[in-house]
């Protein structure tokens, strides 16, 4: 899930508006928070920590999402696949990995 989607869901779940969130973030107005929530801008490190405190979630949850969003080595498809993988149960993840490894092995043999 993208950072902006995560922020929108946290805001909705907590019943907070962009103005409410901005009040908890140093040097961030409601327009800035709205830009974060729409994906137009990214919060800085200190702002991410403040966001995590405002929502009562671990900062790592927001930071890990940001890190994967900024990973230049991943394509959009890889981001989508990782997001889908994270939604699966442990058993489903194992099955998906088994299928992917089998497909990769088959492709290597057919070259």
Domain with CATH 1.10.260.40 in the chain: 1-70
CATH fold label, 1-70: 434 Repressor (Amino-terminal Domain) (1.10.260)
2: left (phi over 0), alpha (psi -120 to 50) or beta: beta
pTM: 0.57
CA distances from 77 to 73, 94, 102, 105 (A): 11, 20, 19, 20
**Percent of the chain beyond pLDDT 70?**
88
Q: Which pLDDT tens digit goes with each residue over 1-53? A: 678 888 888 899 889 999 999 999 988 899 999 999 998 998 888 898 899 99
């Amino acid at each position: 899930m993208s950072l902006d989607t995560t922020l929108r869901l946290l805001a909705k779940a907590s019943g907070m508006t962009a103005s409410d969130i901005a009040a908890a973030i140093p040097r961030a107005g409601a327009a800035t928070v709205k830009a974060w929530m729409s994906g137009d801008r990214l919060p800085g490190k200190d702002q991410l920590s403040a966001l995590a405190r405002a929502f009562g979630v671990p900062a790592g949850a927001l930071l890990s999402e940001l890190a994967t969003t900024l990973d230049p080595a991943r394509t959009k498809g890889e981001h989508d696949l990782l997001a889908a993988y994270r939604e699966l149960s442990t058993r489903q993840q194992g099955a998906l990995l088994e299928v992917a490894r089998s497909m990769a092995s088959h492709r290597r043999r057919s070259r």
